[in-house]
Chain A
Amino acid sequence: MAQPSLFDQVVDFGSRADPYPLYAELRRTPVSRADDGSYVVSTYQAIVALLHDPRVSSDRRHRADYAEDEDEFVPGLPPSFIGLDPPGHDRVRRLLTRHFGPPHDPGRITSMTAGMADIVADLIGHLAGRTCCDLIEDVTYPFPVTVICRLLGVPREDEPRFRVWADAIVSSIDPTTGDLAARKRRRLDAAADLASYFGELIDAGRDRPGNGMLAELVADDGPEGRLSRAELMSNASLLLIAGHETTVNLIANGMLTLLRHPQVLQRLRRQPALSARLVEELLRYEPPVQFLPNRTALDDIDIAGTIIPRGGQVTLVLAAGSRDPEHVPDPGRFDPDRPDNEHLGFGGGIHYCFGAPLARIEAQIALPELARRLENLRLAADPPPYRPNPLLRGPAQLPVRFDRVAPAPATRSRDQRITERHLHHV
């Protein structure tokens, strides 16, 4: 058999620790073909163009290989909005935004900030007395999970239940975990379970309204009405998964990168305000979402010298675009001072990450706190073992050693208060 395509080499688990040299090769052909025939787009310009191109759909029902009878979806469950085009996409996004951010709910994230700092402080506090840990199991996983549970109003103690489904759904995106049919079956089963879990929560909430977005969405009385029960089930599932599987990796990739650049780690200890730019650079340099495999051309698209035919499947390799030397100087250098950092970490266009403001704050809180409180922190393994998933890429474990856990500050730091004040302002 011929050598696998460059993209198939990226997907291969052997490349997980460092896919970037392959991305550099990919960019030489801005639009290349994967072995399954899909079109792989890897330069910044071309990706940005396609993210804003109305001829590109996120709805898998437009795929050339999609057949009505093929059950792509859980029966009775509409696709979540990440898989919809306008106007359906926009409607769901608007209805959700009413309970997540400005203009209708500008205080949501602000009101969560203090609590987020406390969660991180507590998780790190639990490490007291130890000199080694797995940062992922102990901090970078539980933190965003707790946050998204609070946001949605999902009982934290249900985590062992939904973790199974979330893991199954996420791994089904991973092309290395079996053939399409098998993966689809796993995805549909897990998606059905997760959705019906949310169905239970929704029904329970009708009698006993709780806190959080879910309860508000159930009772929404906005001018456009509210999401149906089924819509709520599939979109809550999306929020739950998108809300933590990615942030885990952002913080873990962040700590890994800092530990590989000790001078930056030191700076962050002294200068927590560095975290805002640092997080942007991390989203560029080690993005948690490496590519978007879910686009379909609705028409022939002439891009970067290639014609992507109508019905063609398109993969946008965000991680390659964010390191495109045509777009950013010296892209392989980790530079937390980079000005005008326009990266593709959160995608772009109408599907631009819904949770970006939350994810940013989470990482901006967690990274300086980890840097400050774990004294003489060092990696116990480099590279660490990776999760198999090439798309939501990140370490499976992040074993580290440290001398001591510094005590939590009595009051929250000045930076945090500034962040809060600013957000309040916005």
Chain B
Amino acid sequence: MRGDEALWYDPEPGDWQRENVLRAAAACPVQAMRVEQAHFRDDSRVPAAAHGDADAFRRTGRIVIVGASLAGLKAAATLRHEGFTGSLTLIGDEPYEPYDRPPLSKQVLDGWVPAQRTALPVPGDLDARWRLGVAAAGLDLARKQVLLADGEEVGFDRLLIATGVRPRPWPDPAQAALDGVFVLDTRDDAARLQERLAAGPRRVLVIGGGFIGSETASVCRDLGLPVTVAERGPAPLVGALGRVIGAIAADMQRDHGVDLRCGVFAKALAGDSSGRLCSAELSDGSTLDADVAIVALGSLRNVEWLDGSGLAAGPWGVGCDSGSRAFTLDGMVTDDIFAAGDVARFPHPLYNYQFLALQHWGNAVAQAEIAAHNMISAQTDRWPHLAIPSFWSTQFDTEIKSVGVPSFADEVVITQGSAADRRFVAAYGHRGRVTAAVAFNQAKWLEFYQSLIERSAPFPPDFRGVDEPADRRPVPAGMPDQPIPGDQATVEVTGHNPGERRTALVRRRHRPGARLPQQRRDRHGPAQSL
């Protein structure tokens, strides 16, 4: 447990200790532990009006959720909580009941919490059919069937897509298969990596300096392991926080003894005769001896199972409206198909209605709640997903927390505290209004900045307050361009008459050995643009 404002992580809050968990949550500096989900929440949100159809659906409808993780579980719990008594099926390709991922790169990796003790609390009265360990392989919209990899078909009236993302793999499969090369996504990944780190490797190479890469590097340093971070960009965390704040993160890493190499990427991994990783070739021509490599190159969305379904699902995620209803490839909104969590991509009014693809814990929870509510509500009772995005990260004795969308910014200014002390708040602006803020060990102020974002307050924020830095001049935030991940797929429109025009998805296969895309998308980083 590190950081000024230590995050109390409580694995598996059992029933008897839920009070303690509630308290821990109340005390949780980053308010990240949203425990009211599942069985802790019993205040009834009474549906506004009784609408005949919606009512009948609530009683006897069939809902299928694909992706049995944070968003899927949260949606399921919300459905029941809001009075859905019909049939509920959760399909997940992992063999486990839902568990929480954020601790995997933190408390699990440093050995503080065992990987299997990250389960999310499942309400006792969820009354769901679980199909775990089997992937959804296809979707037939016309027949309203989900096709499973084992051949089964599962019929639904309404469907929630919550299949999340997976790590972008190391591009060369043979190199990726070397013993010692890891990605970090599942609880098994974390358990294996934890074991390997605990065994004391000579050097760990972290490929990619995004949040997951930085957090793993931080754990390595806590464990006293020599670690090199190879980051293609000018600093760690640039994709999410920009160059200016990224430079502070870089100093932080170096102060903690990380061998941080920016502007450098790993070109190839090499193994010894028994297939064990022994070194990596870097783009600056150097060779680095390392027996563990953690590939943290951002993520890919789990959408392949939707190929051919006619939904707007591609490398950019599953497009949906702010009420979580999925779009078809043609850009029309569906009524029975919903999406939530890391896989979803939705327009946010505060960000010029651009589509956001957020890979944040809090977003998965909030959006799942909205999706579930809307799945069983009449048109007029539906809610938009307008939460201000927020995420946190723990690394190098620092709690980093942000509100808003920092990458949606052209300028940044430190408004409180001191970057040199690594305790500060920075506000981000886009064309003269506040769009985000990030705090390093100063999370308690962020509610104020959230209200500035909600009000589209002018940037730079102009106020006299506590702990004012000497210099309050905004500087360019140094955000890399973040085009949508369109390098692997595109669409084509065909047909002439309005009644005939249709869109088709065209996937491009990645050529083996091709360069990694210049702009990685970090797992936490949002992408915008339509």
Q: Is A227 in the interface zone, CB < 8 Å from B?
A: no
Q: Is B126 in the interface zone, CB < 8 Å from A?
A: no
Q: Is the CB of B421 within 8 A of A87?
A: yes
Q: Is the CB of B464 within 8 A of A298?
A: yes
- Minimal beta-carbon separation of A188 from chain B (angstroms): 25
Q: Is the CB of B2 within 8 A of A349?
A: no
Hey, what's the 0/1 contact readout for B1-37 against A, CB within 8 Å counting as 1? 1111010101000001101101110110000000010
Q: Is A401 in the interface zone, CB < 8 Å from B?
A: no
- Minimal beta-carbon separation of B139 from chain A (angstroms): 36
Q: A54-B445, A54-B448, A339-B42 are in contact. Are A103 and B467 (CB under 8 A)?
A: no
Interface residues of B in 421-438 (CB under 8 A from A): 421, 423, 425
Quick one: closest B residue to A297, CB to CB? B464
- Select A298's contact among B3, B446, B465, beta carbons within 8 Å: B465
Q: Is A126 in the interface zone, CB < 8 Å from B?
A: no
Q: Is the CB of A86 within 8 A of B466?
A: yes
Quick one: closest B residue to A52, CB to CB? B447
Hey, what's the 0/1 contact readout for B436-463 against A, CB within 8 Å counting as 1? 0000001011111001000000000001
Q: Is B417 in the interface zone, CB < 8 Å from A?
A: yes
- Select A276's contact among B10, B22, B42, B415, beta carbons within 8 Å: B22
Q: Is the CB of B464 within 8 A of A350?
A: no
Q: Is A418 in the interface zone, CB < 8 Å from B?
A: yes
Q: Is A71 in the interface zone, CB < 8 Å from B?
A: no
- Select A299's contact among B40, B442, B445, B465, beta carbons within 8 Å: B465
- Select B466's contact among A57, A357, A425, beta carbons within 8 Å: A57
Q: Is the CB of B36 within 8 A of A426?
A: no
- Select A54's contact among B2, B3, B416, B423, beta carbons within 8 Å: B416
Quick one: closest B residue to A356, CB to CB? B27
Chain B: interface residue total (CB-CB under 8 A) = 40
- Minimal beta-carbon separation of B413 from chain A (angstroms): 13
- Complex Cα gap A50–B108 (Å): 37
Interface residues of A in 311-340 (CB under 8 A from B): 329, 339-340
Interface residues of A in 87-107 (CB under 8 A from B): 87, 90, 94, 102-103, 106
Hey, what's the 0/1 contact readout for A241-270 against B, CB within 8 Å counting as 1? 000000000000000000000000000000
Q: Is A310 in the interface zone, CB < 8 Å from B?
A: yes
- Select A277's contact among B19, B445, B465, beta carbons within 8 Å: B19
- Complex Cα gap A107–B418 (Å): 31
Interface residues of B in 265-296 (CB under 8 A from A): none
- Complex Cα gap A50–B421 (Å): 25
Quick one: closest A residue to B6, CB to CB? A103
Residues from chain B with Cβ under 8 Å of A412 in the complex: none
Residues from chain A with Cβ under 8 Å of B467 in the complex: 54, 85-87
Q: Is the CB of A54 within 8 A of B465?
A: yes
- Complex Cα gap A356–B1 (Å): 20
Counting chain A CB atoms within 10 Å of each CB, the highest count among B2, B6, B466 belongs to B466
Q: Is A48 in the interface zone, CB < 8 Å from B?
A: yes
Q: Is the CB of A299 within 8 A of B464?
A: yes
- Minimal beta-carbon separation of A211 from chain B (angstroms): 24
Hey, what's the 0/1 contact readout for A408-426 against B, CB within 8 Å counting as 1? 0000000000110011011
- Select B43's contact among A52, A277, A339, beta carbons within 8 Å: A339
Q: Is the CB of A425 within 8 A of B10?
A: yes
- Select B23's contact among A57, A94, A298, A360, beta carbons within 8 Å: A360
- Complex Cα gap A360–B27 (Å): 12
- Complex Cα gap A368–B41 (Å): 25
Interface residues of A in 52-87 (CB under 8 A from B): 52-57, 85-87
Q: Is the CB of B19 within 8 A of A339?
A: no
**Size class of the contact patch on chain A:** 35 or more
- Complex Cα gap A423–B20 (Å): 8
- Complex Cα gap A348–B36 (Å): 20
Q: Is the CB of A54 within 8 A of B41?
A: no
Interface residues of B in 385-404 (CB under 8 A from A): none
- Complex Cα gap A342–B406 (Å): 29
Residues from chain B with Cβ under 8 Å of A90 in the complex: 4, 423
- Complex Cα gap A103–B3 (Å): 8
Quick one: closest A residue to B425, CB to CB? A54
- Complex Cα gap A329–B20 (Å): 23
Q: Is the CB of B16 within 8 A of A49?
A: no
Q: Is the CB of B423 within 8 A of A87?
A: yes
Q: Is the CB of B1 within 8 A of A52?
A: no
Q: Is A34 in the interface zone, CB < 8 Å from B?
A: no
Q: Is the CB of B464 within 8 A of A55?
A: yes
Counting chain A CB atoms within 10 Å of each CB, the highest count among B2, B6, B415 belongs to B6
Residues from chain A with Cβ under 8 Å of B445 in the complex: 52, 54, 349-350
- Complex Cα gap A334–B325 (Å): 41
Q: A49-B447, A356-B27 are in contact. Are A298 and B36 (CB under 8 A)?
A: no
Q: Is the CB of B17 within 8 A of A418?
A: yes
- Minimal beta-carbon separation of B456 from chain A (angstroms): 15
- Minimal beta-carbon separation of B423 from chain A (angstroms): 7
Residues from chain A with Cβ under 8 Å of B418 in the complex: 87
Q: Is A273 in the interface zone, CB < 8 Å from B?
A: yes
Q: Is the CB of B465 within 8 A of A419?
A: no
Residues from chain A with Cβ under 8 Å of B42 in the complex: 339
Q: Is the CB of B448 within 8 A of A49?
A: yes
- Minimal beta-carbon separation of B440 from chain A (angstroms): 12
- Complex Cα gap A102–B112 (Å): 14
- Complex Cα gap A423–B42 (Å): 25
Residues from chain B with Cβ under 8 Å of A340 in the complex: 36, 40-41, 43
Q: Is the CB of B466 within 8 A of A418?
A: no
- Minimal beta-carbon separation of B17 from chain A (angstroms): 5
Q: A53-B448, A102-B8, A349-B444 are in contact. Are A339 and B16 (CB under 8 A)?
A: no
Residues from chain A with Cβ under 8 Å of B20 in the complex: 276, 419, 422-423, 426
- Select A94's contact among B4, B10, B19, B416, beta carbons within 8 Å: B4
Residues from chain B with Cβ under 8 Å of A310 in the complex: 464
Residues from chain B with Cβ under 8 Å of A94 in the complex: 4
Hey, what's the 0/1 contact readout for A333-371 against B, CB within 8 Å counting as 1? 000000111100000011010001100100000000000
Q: Is the CB of A54 within 8 A of B463?
A: yes
- Complex Cα gap A56–B17 (Å): 36
Residues from chain A with Cβ under 8 Å of B43 in the complex: 329, 339-340
Residues from chain A with Cβ under 8 Å of B3 in the complex: 103
Counting chain A CB atoms within 10 Å of each CB, the highest count among B2, B42, B463 belongs to B463
Residues from chain B with Cβ under 8 Å of A360 in the complex: 23
Residues from chain B with Cβ under 8 Å of A298 in the complex: 464-466
Residues from chain A with Cβ under 8 Å of B466 in the complex: 54-57, 85-86, 298
Quick one: closest A residue to B2, CB to CB? A103
Interface residues of B in 40-59 (CB under 8 A from A): 40-43
Q: Is the CB of B421 within 8 A of A49?
A: no
Q: Is the CB of A422 within 8 A of B17?
A: yes
Interface residues of B in 313-333 (CB under 8 A from A): none
- Minimal beta-carbon separation of B384 from chain A (angstroms): 21
Residues from chain B with Cβ under 8 Å of A103 in the complex: 1-3, 6
- Complex Cα gap A342–B27 (Å): 11
- Minimal beta-carbon separation of B86 from chain A (angstroms): 25
Quick one: closest A residue to B36, CB to CB? A340
- Minimal beta-carbon separation of A135 from chain B (angstroms): 24
Quick one: closest B residue to A350, CB to CB? B444
Residues from chain B with Cβ under 8 Å of A106 in the complex: 1
- Select B415's contact among A54, A102, A422, A423, beta carbons within 8 Å: A54
Q: A273-B19, A298-B464 are in contact. Are A426 and B10 (CB under 8 A)?
A: yes
Closest 5 CB pairs of A and B: A276-B19, A54-B465, A85-B466, A52-B447, A103-B6
- 21 pairs, CB–CB < 8 Å, chain A vs chain B: A48-B447, A49-B451, A54-B463, A85-B467, A86-B442, A86-B467, A87-B423, A87-B467, A103-B6, A273-B16, A273-B19, A276-B22, A339-B41, A339-B42, A340-B41, A349-B445, A357-B27, A360-B23, A419-B20, A423-B20, A425-B10
Q: 9 more A-B contacts (CB under 8 A) besides A55-B466, A87-B417? A: A85-B466, A87-B467, A102-B1, A276-B22, A298-B465, A298-B466, A340-B36, A352-B444, A422-B20
Residues of B within 8 A of A (CB): 1-4, 6, 8, 10, 16-17, 19-20, 22-24, 26-27, 36, 40-43, 415-418, 421, 423, 425, 442, 444-448, 451, 463-467
